[in-house]
Structure formats: structure tokens, C-alpha cells
Chain A
Amino acid sequence: MLYRETGQFKTSYQADQAIFPIAQDRWFIFGIIAIAVFVVPFLIDDYGANAVLLPFLVYAMAAIGLNILTGYCGQLSLGTGGFMAVGAYSTYKLFTAFPDLNLIVIVILSGLITAAVGVLFGLPSLRIKGFYLAVATLASQFFLVWMFNKFGWFYNYNMTGMINMPASTMFGLQLTGPGAHPAVRYLFCLGFVLVFALVAKNIVRGRLGREWMAIRDMDIAAEIIGIRPLYAKLSAFAVSSFYVGMAGALYFGIWLSSAEPVEAFDINQSFLVLFMIIIGGLGSIMGSFLGAAFIVLMPLVLKNFMVDGLDIAVVTAKHVEIITMGMLIIFFLIVEPHGLARLWTIAKEKLRLWPFPH
């Protein structure tokens, strides 16, 4: 009953093109953002930040990036882990070379460097499509991780081969390194994710986004109405890698603080982000958030339920978790390829008409 758009008349195209055209949706989202900004920082502790909130924000950023490439432009990529590594190592190199540089600038620069690398590895997409492109991006995944492990310059020739984020402050508060307050780290990531989610939404509902979707839906027709496939595909790779690179920068710089390429950025990362956008919803910014939340929270909930609730051994619980994940992927691919975002839309449609079926 509360969810009605009755009486909400749109008198301009601008109002009609708003991200959330229905007022109730708008207030709901504003409410969540307000809680995230003003309430959560006071409740947050180290466990909450490291196990739930930072992973969610970092993966949401990466999922937005992959969704731009795979969901909007239709180019399947398995190189997400590798591109996150580029973002992380760029942050490390930039920060150790210019310790005075603001971390906001460093994260954005890392994104730009990753964008350039992404364009380079996106070049094969002009010739190959679908699974074959996925294999080509898989090559980038293995090549990049190998490269960061192989050449000492990337980790400043330290003995362990790992990269460690030095301590730094922003506005007088410690942001990185050991002892940083979880609320500060959380707000830094939250700020990035909120701003760049809005930017992503603006891009995908603008000219460039329509070009990507046109290429995704029918590339020949897109070319005939004047879209250059070269420009559209490479711009998708660039923007996507920009986001994935920033996610990698936050992943290493804020969340983990230390990383080792073979473990932190392996192929499983690529698959995890791909699962997020499949479950969350291909071609939806909202879906990127839903998918990230789902995949970050599901193992925690399952673990709590099985280990603490049913007293199942931790190893068995881990296996059940992997099985559940696999089943969910198959379920979503068959039943609802547009993922949680579509279920969300359907639920809203039903709610609008409730209590009537039509």
C-alpha cells in the first residue's frame, strides 16, 4: 500500500530520466546511504570492517567494473584478478615513490594505469568474441600475476616478495598501515564507491553506455547506425579496468595492507567477481552491489549457521559453502540470468500492484 507511484507526475525529461524515478525508491536509497555514512562508522569494529564492510565495498567496486565490460558491453573477461593486481601494484609503487601524494590521487592514478593496461589487453576483442575472448583475458590474468612475481622492481626488491602498505594519514587521521581506525578506512572506501557508482550509472545511461549495449545486443546493427566497434569496445575495457584497478588499490591499500601476488590476485578472484555479477545481475549497477553483498555475506552466514548453530566441522562447512555457491550459479544462469537485480525489479512491480495480481 505504501509503495505507489500514484500522484508522482513527471513534468520534465530530466525527472523522467532520474536514476530512481519513484519517490519511495529514492527515499529508501537515501536512507541506506545516510545510515552507511552517519550510523555505521560509530558501530564499526575491526572484525566488521575486515570481514564484512571493506570486502563488500572493494568487491562492489570490482563488480561495477566487470559489469561495465561484461554486463553492458558483452565482452566476457576472466582477467579481473590480474587487473586488480595492476591497481594494487600501481598504488604500492606510487606510494613508495611519492609518499607525500594524497591517497585519493594515488587510487585514481592507479585506476588510470590499469585502464591503460586494460586497453592493451582489450585489443584482441576487436577480432575475437565470447569464449575465445575469455581465454585471451585469462592469459592476461596469468601473465600479469607472473610478471609481478617475477620482476623485483614491482615489489621494490624486498626479501619476502610481498608488498606492504606503509602507514599514512589523511586529514590528520591514520588511514593505512597497522593501527588505522576501522571507521576511517571504511569511510574512505565508502566515499570512493559512492562517488564512482554514481559516475558509472551516469556513463551507462548516457551515450557511451548506449553504445556499449548496442555492441552487446547486435554488433553489426550497431556498426551500421554509426557506432565504431573499435572505440566502443576499447572504451569499455578502459572504463572497466579503471574501476577494477581502483578496486585493486583499495583491496591492497585499505583492506589487506599487505599482499602477495600469487595468492591475493589469483584466478579465483576473477571468478569470484564474475559470480558476483552473474548472481547480482548482468547489466545493472544495482546488481553489482547486490551480488557483492550476497557473495561476501553468504559464506559468513552459512558458516555461522553451520559451525556455531549445527556444530558441523569447519572443513565440512567450507565444502558445503562451495557446493552452495556452485548450485546458486547454475540456478541463476538457468532461472534468472539477470540476477538479483531483476528479482528486485519484479518484487517492486508486484508490490506496486499489491494486493491485486495485475
Chain B
Amino acid sequence: MTETAQQMTSAKKIGDVVLAVDNISLSFGGVRALSDISFQVREHQVLSIIGPNGAGKSSLLNVINGFYHPQEGTITYRGVTRKQMKPHQAARQGIARTFQNIALFKGMSTLDNIMTGRNTIMTRNVLWQALRVGPALQEELAHRHRVEEIIDFLEIEHIRKTPVGKLPYGLQKRVELGRALAAEPSMLLLDEPMAGMNVEEKQDMSRFVLDVNSEFGTTIVLIEHDMGVVMDISDYVVVLDYGRKIGDGLPDEVRSNQDVIDAYLGVSHD
């Protein structure tokens, strides 16, 4: 990490704990995906979850946004503790996410995809929408305005009306980030936002992630395999291996943690 980048991240104001993951265990039949995981995410933090393939990183994100229901343990988000909840409830609490394999609505344009992200905060009922006059029209236009700001922010103005199925991979990732941002989330879960990108695209995406974090104050939890990116942009790192947490701490602490090095490089059994 460069000197300036370190100063920037350490100068940022990191607040109280907003998300507490307590003793989460999740298994699918006989396969134990997560065992006894606990960590905390603080406001405005960029927290990375790393670990080898199959360590349970994506499962952990799925537990946080309510897609998987853990057998044991609780999730506390902004003072609300829950065991079982539906993904749309998590969305309404302000948790948005992107996916490892892009999950955009392929038949819809970039604009419509991002507008769909705002559905939870649109309120006019179907009769108003059907008439599309007065308050319903004003609402639609106001949200369009916000969506245009997001499009502007992500520099995707030129593909506004293009069906997303036709876009190249890197842009699709960006649209997906836009859709997640559209809901004005207080926490953003990013599942490998930079997978399959070249260096330049990774730089762009890292910049967007840091900008989201500093401009909108969004707390970010991300999964990433590129250690250079992780060490550069994270405030805190959690390391998983075989469904267990084997270490956490500041990027520099994790880098020198012997368990983490063993997990990544292997241990000689002599």
C-alpha cells in the first residue's frame, strides 16, 4: 500500500458497529459450509472477506442478506437481530449486493435495470402508475433524476438505452454496481466485483468502490481474490478457510498472520 493511500484510509471516519455476525453456522445436509463465524462491521468501513476457493465467502454474504438461513447464530444489523428473514426484507433494511456471476435483468436496458434498483423506495400504487399523471409522473421523474446521477457517477451514459445482455463483461459489472447503488443502501455487499477484469478495469472498479465509500458513506463488505486490491482498499480483512474464520485484522496484520499464509501457500508436513 502506498503512503498516501494509507493516510487517506486512516483519515476516514470509521463509526460504530453496524453489522454484527455472531456464531454463524450453516450446513447443507452433511456439508458444513460455515462454522461458528463471528465478526463485526463498522460504519463507513471497507471490509474484505478473503480465503481460498470454497472457503464459504459467498455463503457468508448470502447469510447476511437473508438468502441462506443459518442453523445457528444471529445477524444484528443496526440494532435489529434476526435469525430468519427473506432477502427482500434485508433489501428494505438497506443492504444491497452484487453477484459473483452477474445477475442483471438481461432483457432490460441499463436505465431500466438501475431504475429497478429503486423499486423499494418508490411508493405510488398501481392505479397512479396506470394513469401516469401528477404525483406518479413526478415520482418517476424524480427517481429518473437520481438514476441519472448514478449513471453519471459510474460513467455509463453512453449505454443508457442498451439492453444489458449486449454489454461487455466489465460494463455489466458496473451496471450491477449501479443497480445496487440505486437503492441508496447503507451497506453494500460486493461478491468478487473485480473477477475476470484486466488491470485497468480493476483500477476503475476500485476507484468506484472507494468513491462510493467516501462520497455516500456506504459501508462496504467485499469478497475479492486479488490480494493487491484487497490490501490497498480495505480497512479491515476477515480470512476464511474451510468455513472457519482463521484470522482477521488490519490488512498489514493479516498479511503477516501465519495461519493465513499457511492457508494460502500450504504447510509442509515434515
Contacts and interface: CB of A to CB of B under 8 A. Distances in A.
B131 A202 contact: yes
B108 A217 contact: yes
Contact of B119 (A199, A218, A227): A227
B265 interface: no
Main secondary structure of the interface of B (DSSP, over half): helix
Interface residues of B, number: 40
A206 B116 contact: no
A206 B105 contact: no
A127 to B, nearest CB: 16
A227 B118 CA distance: 10
Nearest to B96: A225
B120 A206 contact: no
Contacts of A228: 88
B112 A221 contact: no
Nearest to B143: A207
Interface string A269-312: 00000000000000100000000000000000000000000000
A214 B176 CA distance: 13
Contact of A217 (B97, B105, B137): B105
A14 B140 CA distance: 9
Contacts of B136: 206
Nearest to A72: B107
Contacts of B180: 225
Q: Which of A208, A210, A226 has the most CB of B within 10 A?
A: A226
A224 B120 contact: no
Given A17-B140, A207-B119, A235-B126, A226 B183 contact: yes
B12 interface: no
Given A14-B137, A225-B120, A283-B107, A207 B88 contact: no
Nearest to B148: A13
A213 B97 contact: no
A266 interface: no
Closest 6 CB pairs of A and B: A226-B91, A221-B103, A226-B120, A217-B105, A206-B129, A202-B132
Given A206-B136, A225-B183, A226-B87, 15 more contacts: A206-B132, A208-B129, A210-B115, A210-B119, A216-B107, A218-B103, A220-B67, A222-B105, A222-B116, A224-B87, A224-B103, A225-B119, A226-B91, A228-B88, A235-B126
Interface of B: 65, 67, 86-88, 90-92, 96-97, 99, 103-108, 112, 115-117, 119-120, 122, 124, 126, 129-132, 136-137, 140-141, 144-145, 148, 179-180, 183
